[in-house]
Structure 1
Amino acid sequence: MQKIPATVITGFLGAGKTTMIRNLLSNAGGKKIALIINEFGDLGVDGDVLKGCGAEACTEDDIIELNNGCICCTVADDFIPTMEKLLARDVKPDHIVIETSGLALPQPLVAAFNWPGIKTAVTVDGVVTVVDSAAVAAGRFADDHDALDAQRKEDEGLDHESPIEELFEDQLTAADLIVLNKTDLLDAAAIQSVRDAVNAATSRKPKMIEARNGEIPASVLLGLGVGTESDIENRKSHHELEHEGAPHDHDHDEFESFIVELGALKDAGAFVEALKPVIDRHDILRLKGFADVAGKPMRLVIQAVGSRIETYFDRPWAPGEARATRLVVIGLHDEMDDVAIAAEIESLG
């Protein structure tokens, strides 16, 4: 029996994974795609956005959401049973696409494809790592190493790189294809600096391509034919290398998320503009969700990566659906003052 190919799409918070998948579903060339989505945070924004895209290649029944934590930590409890149910269907998908949380390590997920019962039926066609080129150019993943070294000398417990930089490198190390997304926001010199930064972040050198708005042909993303699960030993994360051979747990204690709920927005444009300094002031990594705009029949999607904010109306509110504004906020645990941030955002509504 021919194995079903699966593509793992990873990348840091706000890199553009969901947008790229929306484009993929709209141009799937007749392939029937099953989609597994994992998010960090209790509000399933990405899954809801993709369910509303109306693509024939992937119906709502083909979209499975895993919201019990980052998929890299819940492989046995969530991912394996989900795959087993998917493979037990009478009508099998032509291709499986898995969107990981922006905070997930791809390595444990790829290793799970060697699980008995999965390995014989599915193969990892390839790992695609999406990079927010504008964030890399702005130095989001390049920390002050001198300052970190000084901190480590004072505190022997600080033996890691920064959690953001480390995760960025791990996601690149797992890649078979790296997509430099959002290159339309940069000039040629800045794009080259991003290429240099990405090359410096991993010893592996997978193919690298540029993209705007996640627009990559399905023929490029699907059909890599790598069989990545057989090469996972060569793509170990920082966490695996640090605990080589020893029992250990992986967690995401460095990151935190919470939800802010508001009523209808009187002026969506003014709300977004007022939101930018709040994001900057608290160094919020990611903010996303849906808004109820007074007098508008459609739901507003709000997507923020740092203070870069995108908004668009995606679909009408359904009959009987409770209209509300709900936003998930994600940042570093030590730098997040949930009460203060929530109060500031609530005051903008």
Structure 2
Amino acid sequence: MSITTAKTGGKIPATIVTGFLGAGKTSLIQHLLKNAGGKRLALIINEFGELGVDGEIVKGCKIEGCPEENIVELANGCICCTVADDFLPTIKALLDRPNAPDHIIIETSGLALPKPLVKAFNWPEIRTRVTVDGVIAVVDGPAVAAGRFADNPAAVDNQRKMDDGLDHDSPLAELFEDQINCADLIIVNKADQMSGAEHESAQAHIIKELQRPAKMITARFGEVDPRVLLGLDAAAEDDLAARHSHHELEGEDHNHDDFESFHIDIAELAAPQDLLAKLGPVIEQHDILRVKGFLAVAGKDMRLVLQGVGNRLQHYYDRAWEASEGRRGQIVIIGLHGLDRAAITAALSTPLGKAA
């Protein structure tokens, strides 16, 4: 028995990492895996979209402490909606391995409510074998500072009284609040993109929305010491009553009709700038929330990872293309329901300086 499982009464600890789209969950997990200090980690990724982009990014790191067979992707919908069909069999399979992991990391999709997932750890099949060490919410600091989720509940209530036919609730704001109110640790990420005043504004908004105590720290690029992330000993499955959720009042019967995703095949590019120049206007025109994927660039042996939140785009080369992949570029588009798929696809699939 490892020191970790001894502390948890023989149960394997699991950490749930939640957060809105593009907050930096994958960066946080990459840093954690690379600095695991010899722990055998297993990673469950709940990807929203048709391509397992986040899982491929982590696999591309070839991290010694987390071999590829320890990375499991759930791409069949929101993990909080499919615990019985997808999550429970997956975690039981991990626990039944001859060489079980020391710690399980679960990255939820940006759309997942964490509380139903925490509740799943009370199921008889796994309750005696695994415990929720902690729930970590990764927050996009600049977005919060800009007021993206700064809804005023009192003002919304007044508007409702004036016009009962209007629904002024923001699903994104409620989701954000549910995630931070289920968290044991809140990480205000992208500190490098905030001024002192913006940082204070982001923290103030988070504190205003919190209904339970939670520690809060800042980070750049998701770089947080694993000693801070692991070993919280929260046993969150025994503390559900304190973790408030908007959706409890609705019987937790929620859906994600507000969001949709689709992927676009992108031909090999002469240069990344060809696509980036087109993406900016398309993102703005169609109010796209998230763009992510992989691109092939002529003359480059390595594949290019593309990550975008709103109009903030990042790209970097992560690893060489494998022969079986055929240097095929694909990107996932995520946005609110009603995306004009045909127009977006046409704008991004037109010739982009493809090499001969």
TM-score greater than 0.5 by the shorter chain: yes
Structure 1 SS opposite 2:120: helix
Q: For residues 279 and 148 of structure 1, do their structure 2 counterparts lie closer, same or farther at Cα, with a shift above 3 Å needed?
A: farther
Identity, % of aligned positions: 56
- 2 CA distance for matches of 1:231 and 1:11? 20
Q: Which residue of 1 aligns with 2:333?
A: 329
Paired with 1:142 and 1:255, the residues of 2 have a C-alpha distance of 20
1:340 to 314, 338, 343: 343
Contact 1:178 1:207 in 2 (8 A): yes
In the alignment, does 2:238 pair up with 1:259?
no
In structure 1, what is the equivalent of residue 106 of structure 2? 98
1:157 Cα offset (Å): 7.1
Give yes or no for the alignment of 1:131 onto 2:139: yes
Superposed displacement of residue 85, structure 1 = 0.9
The two structures have a TM-score, normalised by structure 1, of 0.94
CA distance in 2, matches of 1:197, 1:227: 27
Specify the alignment match of 1:270 in structure 2.
Answer: 274
- Aligned equivalent of 1:292: 296
State yes or no: 1:57 paired with 2:60. no
2:5 aligns with: none
Q: Which residue number corresponds to residue 310 of structure 1?
A: 314
Structure 1 distance, partners of 2:260, 2:173, is 17
| Bigger mean CA offset, 149-158 vs 174-183 | 149-158
What is the CA distance between 1:260 and its match in structure 2?
A: 1.2
Matched with 2:202 is 194
Residues in 2 aligned to 1:79 and 1:337: alpha-carbon distance in whole angstroms: 32
Give the structure 2 partner of residue 236 of structure 1.
244
Aligned equivalents of 1:23 and 1:17: distance in 2? 10
Cα separation, 2, equivalents of 1:95 and 1:272: 38
Question: Residues of 2 paired with 1:301 and 1:13: CA distance?
Answer: 16
**SS of aligned partner of 2:86:** helix
CA deviations 1:217-245 (Å, max 9, x no partner) are 110000001100001122132111233xx
Residue by residue, what CA displacement relative to the aligned partner does 1:137-174 show, whole Å, maximum 9, x if unpaired?
2222234775786478545473x621110100000011
CA offset digits 1:263-305 (Å, max 9, x no partner)? 1112202321331222122211111000111221110000001
Q: Is the 8 A contact 2:79 2:109 kept in 1?
A: yes
Identify the residue that residue 180 of structure 1 maps to in structure 2. Answer: 188
Q: Give matches, 1:53-132, under 5 Å.
A: 53-132=61-140
What SS does structure 2 have at the residue aligned with 1:171?
Answer: helix
Distance 1:147 1:261 in 2: 41
Is the contact made by 2:212 and 2:242 (CA closer than 8 Å) also made in structure 1?
no
Gaps of 5+ in 1: none
What stretches of structure 1 move > 3 A for 4+ residues in a row? 143-157
Alpha carbons 1:125, 1:225 under 8 Å: kept: yes
CA drift at 1:52: 0.9
Would you say the 8 A contact 1:148–1:161 is kept in 2? no
Q: CA deviation at 1:322?
A: 1.8
Gaps of 5+ in 2: 1-8
Cα distance in 1 between the residues matched to 2:321 and 2:157: 48
User: How many residue pairs were aligned?
Assistant: 343
Name whichever of 28-37 and 233-242 sits farther off.
233-242
Decide whether the 8 Å contact of 1:113 with 1:122 is kept in 2: yes
Take 2:115 and 2:303, find their aligned partners in 1: how far apart are those partners?
Answer: 36
1:281 match: secondary structure: helix
Secondary structure of the residue aligned to 1:64 is: strand
Partners of 2:86 and 2:242 lie apart in 1 by: 25
C-alpha separation in 1, matches of 2:279 and 2:152: 27
CA 1:216 to 1:348, structure 2 compared with 1: closer, same or farther past 3 Å?
farther
**Following TM superposition, by how much is the alpha carbon of 1:202 offset from its aligned partner in structure 2, in angstroms?**
1.9
In 2: Cα distance, 1:42 partner to 1:152 partner: 41
* Aligned-residue offset at 1:10: 0.3
Structure 1 residues 185 and 337, CA, compared in 2 at 3 Å: closer, same or farther?
Answer: same
Q: For 2:244, what is the secondary structure of its paired residue?
A: coil
One-letter code of the match for 1:307? Answer: N
| Inter-partner Cα distance in structure 1 for 2:213 and 2:169 | 21
